[in-house]
Structures are given as structure tokens and as C-alpha cells.
Amino acid sequence: MHFDDTREQANFRKRVISWLEETLPGLRKVGKESSEEELSRHWQKLMHDGGWLGLAWPKEFGGQGLSAIEEAIFNEECVRRDAPIPINLLGILLGGPTIIVHGTDAQKKRYLPKILSADEIWCQGFSEPGNGSDLAGLRTRAEKTEGGWRISGQKVWTSSGHLAHKCLLLARTDPSASKHRGITYFLADTSAFDIRPLRMINGEAEFNEMFIDDVFVADEDVLGEVNGGWQVAMTTLTVERNSVAFNLQVWARQALDRLAAEVMEQGLADDTYVLERLGEFEAEVEAIRIGTIRSTSALSAGSQAGVEGSTVKLQWAHAVQNIARFALELGAIDLVLAGAEGSGYWINRYLRARGHSIEGGTDEIQKSIIAERVLGLPRSRL
Amino acid sequence: MKAILEEEQRLVVEVAERMAGNGLQNAQRLLSGAPWPEYPDHDLMANWQGLAIGEADGGSGGRLVDLALLIRTLSIRLTPCRYIDHVIALQAAFGAGLPIDFKVADEGQWCLAVAEPRTPPFGPFACRLSNNRIDGTKTGVPFGNRAEIAIIALEDNRIALAKPSESILSDSADPLAEYACLTFNGSAAEHVSDNANGGLLRATVLIAAELCGVAQGAVDNGSAYAKERAQFGQPIGSYQGVAHQLAEAQVATETAWSLTLYACWAIDSGNSDAQKAVHAAKAKASEAAVFSSERALQVHGGIGMTWESTPHLYLKRAITRAAVLGGTHWHRQQLGSALLSKISSVS
Ligand SMILES: Cc1cc2nc3c(=O)[nH]c(=O)nc-3n(C[C@H](O)[C@H](O)[C@H](O)COP(=O)(O)OP(=O)(O)OC[C@H]3O[C@@H](n4cnc5c(N)ncnc54)[C@H](O)[C@@H]3O)c2cc1C
């Protein structure tokens, strides 16, 4: 086992670094005047034009035909340089990989290039008001009609729904079958959805509720088999758990580096308690980086993505939460009063991070997955 | 030894429960732009500001525990009121031995101005007193923007009553509270005491009582949801992954409350370990409130991340009040030092 690059990988890394160093400073200048959303949009365009997106996707559908390792290298260098998140994160992370596994050639051709170019932005319509952890109990209904399906129901907590053109949509197509057997996975257009933003506890509007009233989706936009949607959804969820930490470890790294800088600034570098906590966080953030390298290596050596994603997702959620909580504790009242002297960063980070142990499957559900699938403990849920 | 509530104390809780009744609804209304509710502030200011101050000193008598009970009960429902910070300022003045003119206190909000950037919670402070004039700046002063009178902690363990020269409203992570930055430019010190510590102890234990209420309210809120919300065909509270989090939060809350009750008693009876007891209470109460409200939010799942939900209100109150008058970390350190000095004085 080694963690250093092969010669080709080292060359690839060099190319990545030189491109990033050329591109990021200009982006930061743009970033000063634009919103985070515009910045993400612009960043994805630059990545796309430079051929850095879809590194591990097949060439014929706009990808680069490389492996997960190159993707990991690119990502690692981005994290080091505090690069933004591309606007079509969910399309790149979830939509593309799911379509690559389950899609027909026509679907791949139709959808994959536009995910990379961000001409079509995607969201994930899984959770419903009545069903989150118990996703398979979902109630959105799809009725067969000439040439397709008519879908009605309600989705909630849909991240990026307000930006999206397309939705990875789960709906029940056979209410008489057992709950995992009657679900179909649709690639739906969101233009006929009624999408309403929801305000989050940090004041931002990242997620939405979506009301779907008798919306038509054509037969060719069924992904996988009719009534076989649960298997397809499992692909999305597995990819999600594996990739969230992989792609968002930047949030943990950024937070920790910022905390370390503030500790120096405040003259706390000799405080043994502070040092100990910094050490704890550094180890945790490193474990996320290394864990994702290990699972990426395993993936590109041909093994199936499995439950290791649950572990890394738990590690990631906790690291970000603990770092932000500690920063507030150190900074006392001045930091807690958001906005005061630009320190709103920490309270915002702290509040947003509470969602990390909920989104993409809660902590409790990840722990159950580890207990059942790694440890072989008996299952308690139905 | 008879560590149970007395008849009058049960009465205080009952009255407070009545006043707290619509607390959460008022809080939600306030959030959607309604003006500050007059009730229960009006009643509290009229009838309860002299609590735990002896009649000889112009108060209405009663023990510090009574006031802690009142504040805790109001906080369980996050009842919007400015009374808590007002009465904490009065208590700080009383604990420091400053005379209180209740006629003045009747007329408007008082505030307690302690924190300074990068200064330990109990000082030494930079705010100066010379020729009876006060100069300096205080941050994170609860309702300092509305206060006529400030009780201000100064250098050399002094504390004074003065009118701030200027106040600037800060942003506040807690949408149900207001914090301000106060400046004193040669403000006249109306009374001065050199026992700031005595005032800070009383104030701190009352913040601890508030945090105990916040912690309990959060646990109750999380538990109510865990009974109601079902997934996989069962209430989520039947899953130990959920139930144990709430039970742990309840244990933390009870730990903090025991320590807070004792600290109130120790201060009131002039017990020599009062200082130590206050550090223990505030350390644990801050911890319990933050932990419990994080757990309450977690068991709500996605809905807990929405502005319209309740758990974040507890969380925001917890995280701000935990930082007022010293956070967990600092109080633990003080408590650790106190333990060591006790041992070394014995040996
Ligand atoms: C910021 C954010 C973004 C999101 N983005 C999306 C998105 O883009 N698309 C999408 O489809 N969804 C999204 N979600 C929804 C997310 O996947 C769900 O919130 C999550 O799966 C939990 O479901 P729920 O909210 O219904 O909570 P519930 O399932 O009701 O859970 C409530 C609590 O009970 C616990 N619980 C439930 N069952 C068990 C059990 N058997 N054992 C132990 N504990 C249990 C949970 O862990 C949780 O603590 C997002 C959520 C957040 C917070």
C-alpha cells in the first residue's frame, strides 16, 4: 500500500496544480463581486471548458475516461486551494453516476453532457414529508398513461430545487407490491413542479419543497426497470454517502485552517487545551482525506462501492460540527453574535453543520447501516 | 437537610408556568415580525423584580432559589421577556452591595455590562474609573440597547451603576434576544462597589438557571416530537438511537439543575464554596443546554433545519447564553483550579 502518486498520477497532479494556480486567482477576483451562486456557476464553466469535469466518466458522453484516482487528485488539489463547489454538484455527484450505471445509451447521451456543462442542473427528489429515513415508504404516485406516467405528490428538503431543471424523482408505481418493490426512478423535468424555497435555520434558502400535481413524464425517462426503482435509488444513496465527504471535505479543512489561524491571532498557541482540541480535529480531518483515498483506490481497483461511505460520512459530519462548536466556544460572545466583525462565518457554519448529521441519511441511519452490514448485527427496522 | 421545594417555591413555579404559558407562540409571533409582547414582561416587572432581595434593601424578599425557579420556568418555553436580563442586572448590583433604587428600576430596563473582547469572563477588565467617571466599551450586553441603567464591571474588581453614553445594537444569533455594544465616555458612576465578584456570581448562577430551563425545554420539545413522528411504522422514540440521545440530554439537564440549585443556596447562605459551586453550575448548564438543543434538533430530522421549526430557537438561545459570563471551558478551568487549591490548603 502506498499513498504517493505513480509517475502518471504525478504528471496528472502537476497539470492540475498548474491549471488551478492559473485559474483560481482570476476566479477569486470575480468572486468578490458576485454571489456564491454565480461563483459556483462560473467555476463549473471554467472546469468544464478546461476538461476537468467528469474525469472518470466515459469519453463518449463528455467525460475524460480516466479513473476515480484522477478525480480524487483533482479534488484534493481543489480542497487545498479552497476552490468553490460547482453549481451542478448534485448532477455531477449523484445524477451522472446513477445514469452511468443504470441508464440506456440514449439516456446517457441525452443527459450526461448537459450535466457537465451545467446546461441542466439537477436535484434529488427522494424525501417526502412523511418519509425521510423510511424512504421506501414514499407516497408520491405515478399512474400509467399513454406513452408515459402522470405523477402527483410532494417532495421536501430538495437541495438546489430552486436552481434545477431536472429531478431524480422516486414515485410509487405499484401500490399493491411490498414497499421496496413498487417504486420507479424517473428523470423528470421540474418545469411543471411548484417549487417553494424553505428558509433554513441560518437564514439561507438552500432547500425547497416541491409540489407535483399530475405532471407527465415520458416512458423513455424511466431510469432502470419500472418497479425496479429501489435498486437504482440504492446506487444514488451509496454514491451520495461515498461522495459527500469526498467532495465536501473542503468544508472541514477550511474550517480547521481558519480556526488554527484564529488561534494564532488570538495568542492562544500555548494554551494546552486549545492545542489538544486542534490536534483532535487535525487527526479527524486527515482521517477523512485518507479514508476517501482508500475507498477511491479500492473502487478503481474494481471493488464495489459499499458501506464505507457511511463511516466517512459520519466522520465528516462530526468533524465539521465539532470544529464550528469549538470555534464559537473559544470566541465567546463576540463570535456568537453573528455578523459582528465578520465573524458571522462561525455561527453560520455551526448552524449549517447541524444539517450534516441529517442530510444524505441521518447519523442514526448510518450507524444502523454499519451495525447491520459491517458488524452483522440483527436489523431492528422493518 | 431538606432539599425539596417549599410551599412558596412551588407557588413561584405555578405562577411562572402560567406566565410562560404561551411563551413559544409569542416567540414564533415575534419571529414573524410582531412587536415585543407586553405579557408577561409587564407582570414580571410589576410584581417580581424585587424577588430574592431583602425587604430591608427595598426588595420583596425570598431566596435566590426562588428566582432561579422563576427564570428556569420562563425559559423552558423560551418566553420572550426582557425581565430576565433586567432582574439579572439588579441581582448583580445587589450581590455587589450596590444600593438599588426600586423607583428607578420601575421606570426602565437595566442591563449588566461585563464582557470585553479578549478578556477573561470575570476580568480583569479594561473599563476604567477615575474621578468617578467611567471610560470604556462593553460588548454583548443583553438588551443594552434598551437600557437606561447599566451595572458595569470595572478594573480592580469594582462595579458601578452608570448611564451608558452610547449603544449600538449588535447582530444576534438568537433572534429572540437583543445584544448591544455599550460605550462609556466619562459617564458618571452613580454608585461604586469593590465587590464585582459578588455581583457576577449571582448573575452567573441565574444565567445557569436560565440555561437549565432551555435544556429542559429542548429535551421536552425533542421528546414530544419523538412520540409523534413515525418512521418504519413506529414512533421514532421507540428506536434506542433516538431515545437514548434524549435520555442522555435529560441526565445532563438534571446534572446542571442540581448544581444550580446548590449554587443558589450556597450564595444565599454565604457558604464558603459558593464560588466553586457557581463555576460548576455554569459549566454544566452551558453544556447541557447546547447538548440538549443539538439533540432536539437532530431527532427532528430535516424539519429541524427549517426556520419555522422550534429546535433552532433553543439552540440559538443555548449557544449565546452559554457564552455569557463565561463558557464551559473557562468555568471548568476555574473549578479545576479551585479543587487543586482546596487540596493544597488541606495538605
Ligand atoms: C440540509 C439538508 C438537505 C437535504 N437535501 C435533500 C435533497 O436534496 N433531496 C432529498 O431527497 N432529501 C434531502 N434532505 C432530506 C434528508 O435526506 C432527510 O431529512 C433525512 O433522510 C431524514 O429524514 P426526515 O427528515 O424525514 O427525518 P425522520 O426520518 O423523520 O427522522 C427523525 C429522527 O428519527 C431518527 N430515526 C428515524 N428512524 C430511525 C430508526 N429506525 N432508528 C433510529 N433512528 C431513527 C432519525 O435519525 C432522525 O434523528 C436534506 C436534508 C437536509 C437537512
Domain presence at residue B185: no
pTM attached to this predicted model? 0.96
CB hemisphere CA count around A306 (13 angstroms): 11
The whole-angstrom separation of Cα B3 and Cα B262 is 9
Look at residue A235 in the predicted model and tell me its pLDDT. Answer: 94
Looking at ligand 1, which residue's alpha carbon is closest to its atom 31? B301
Domain A122-229 has CATH 3.40.50.720: no
Domain presence at residue B4: no
The CATH 1.10.540.10 domain(s) of chain A lie at: 7-87
Residues in chain A with pLDDT < 70? 245, 305, 338-343, 382
Cell of B119: 478578556
The CATH 2.40.110.10 domain(s) of chain A lie at: 122-229
Look at residue A305 in the predicted model and tell me its pLDDT. Answer: 67
Q: For strand B166-169 and strand B230-231, is the pairing parallel, antiparallel, or unpaired?
A: unpaired
Please measure the distance between the N-terminal and C-terminal CA atoms of chain A and give it in whole angstroms: 40
Q: How many residues does chain A have?
A: 382
To the nearest whole angstrom, how far is the Cα of A348 from the nearest Cα of chain B?
A: 9
Domain presence at residue B70: no
The whole-angstrom separation of Cα B57 and Cα B68 is 19
The whole-angstrom separation of Cα A177 and Cα B248 is 40
User: Secondary structure of chain B: what % helix, strand, coil (to 5)?
Assistant: 55, 15, 30
Enumerate helices (H) and strands (E) in chain B, giving the number of each: 11, 9
Looking at ligand 1, which residue's alpha carbon is closest to its atom 50? A359
The CB of A124 under 6 Å from ligand 1? The reply is yes
For the segment B291-322, what is each residue's pLDDT rounded down to a tens digit? 999 999 999 999 999 999 999 999 999 999 99
Interface test with A, best of B28, B225, B231, B324 (most A CBs within 10 A): B231
Asked if B323 lies within 8 A of A328 by C-beta distance, the reply is yes
Domain presence at residue B296: yes
The whole-angstrom separation of Cα A99 and Cα B345 is 72
Chain A, residues 245-304, CB within 8 A of chain B, namely: 266, 273
With CA atoms as reference, the chain B residue closest to A136 would be B232
The whole-angstrom separation of Cα A64 and Cα A80 is 23
Q: Is A38 in CB contact (< 8 Å) with chain B?
A: no
The whole-angstrom separation of Cα A202 and Cα A138 is 28
Atom of ligand 1 at shortest distance to CA of B241?
A: 43
In angstroms, how far is CA B320 from the centroid of its own chain? Answer: 10
The CB of B299 under 6 Å from ligand 1? The reply is yes
Domain presence at residue B207: yes
- Contacts of residue A353, Cβ cutoff 8 Å, sequence gap at least 6: A251, A317, A320, A321, A324
CA triple A37-A42-A45, angle to 5 deg: 130
Domain presence at residue B239: yes
DSSP character at residue A95: I
CB-CB neighbors (< 8 A) of B313 in chain A: none
- Chain B residues whose C-beta is within 8 A of a chain A C-beta are 115, 117-118, 121, 139-140, 170-173, 179, 231-233, 236, 239, 241-242, 290, 294, 297-298, 301-302, 304-309, 312, 315-316, 319-320, 322-324, 327-329, 333
Look at residue A282 in the predicted model and tell me its pLDDT. Answer: 97
Complete DSSP assignment for B145-188 = TT-SEEEEE-STT-EEEE--SEEEEPP-SSTT--EEEEEEEEEE
For the segment B148-189, what is each residue's pLDDT rounded down to a tens digit? 999 999 999 999 999 999 999 998 889 999 999 999 999 999
Complete DSSP assignment for A110-170 = HHHHHHHHTSS-EEEE---SS-SSSGGG---EEEEETTEEEEEEEEEEEETTTT-SEEEEE
Beta bridge partners of A122: A166
- Whether residue B311 is preceded by a cis peptide bond, meaning omega within 30 degrees of 0, is no
Q: For strand A166-172 and strand A122-125, is the pairing parallel, antiparallel, or unpaired?
A: parallel
The CATH 1.20.140.10 domain(s) of chain A lie at: 244-373
The whole-angstrom separation of Cα A184 and Cα A126 is 11
Cell of A174: 405499484
Using the structure block, give the residue that is written with the C-alpha cell 405515478: A142
DSSP character at residue B143: T
Asked if B312 lies within 8 A of A344 by C-beta distance, the reply is no
Q: Which CATH superfamily does the domain covering A7-87 fall into?
A: Acyl-CoA dehydrogenase/oxidase, N-terminal domain (1.10.540.10)
Beta bridge partners of B230: B235
Asked if A333 lies within 8 A of B171 by C-beta distance, the reply is no
Asked if B315 lies within 8 A of A354 by C-beta distance, the reply is yes
Asked if B301 lies within 8 A of A134 by C-beta distance, the reply is no
Given its phi and psi angles, is residue A207 left (phi above 0), alpha (psi -120 to 50 degrees) or beta?
beta
Q: Is A363 in CB contact (< 8 Å) with chain B?
A: yes
CB-CB neighbors (< 8 A) of A357 in chain B: 298
Look at residue B4 in the predicted model and tell me its pLDDT. Answer: 87
Looking at ligand 1, which residue's alpha carbon is closest to its atom 26? A132
To the nearest whole angstrom, how far is the Cα of B63 from the nearest Cα of chain A?
A: 29
Query: Which is nearest to A346 in space by CA: A256, A267, A244?
Result: A256
Cell of B223: 421528546
DSSP character at residue B304: G
CB-CB neighbors (< 8 A) of A333 in chain B: 115, 139-140, 179, 320, 323-324
CB-CB neighbors (< 8 A) of B297 in chain A: 354
Complete DSSP assignment for A22-50 = HHHHHHHHHHHHS-HHHHHHHHHHHHHHT
Give the count of domains, chain B: 1
Cell of A7: 509517475
Look at residue A338 in the predicted model and tell me its pLDDT. Answer: 63
CATH code for A244-373?
1.20.140.10
Pocket test for ligand 1, best of B221, B229, B232, B242 (most atoms within 8 A of CB): B242
Look at residue A340 in the predicted model and tell me its pLDDT. Answer: 44
State which residues form the domain around B252: 197-346
The CB of A338 under 6 Å from ligand 1? The reply is no
Domain presence at residue B57: no
Domain presence at residue B189: no
Q: How far is CA B252 from CA A165, B212, B213, B281, in A?
A: 47, 9, 12, 11
The domain spanning residue B213 has which CATH number?
1.20.140.10
Residue B26 neighbours by CB distance under 10 Å? 22
Residue A17 neighbours by CB distance under 10 Å? 15
Asked if A382 lies within 8 A of B294 by C-beta distance, the reply is no
CB-CB neighbors (< 8 A) of B115 in chain A: 332-334
Q: Is A348 in CB contact (< 8 Å) with chain B?
A: no
Look at residue A343 in the predicted model and tell me its pLDDT. Answer: 59
Catalytic residues of A: 240
Residues in chain B with pLDDT < 50? none
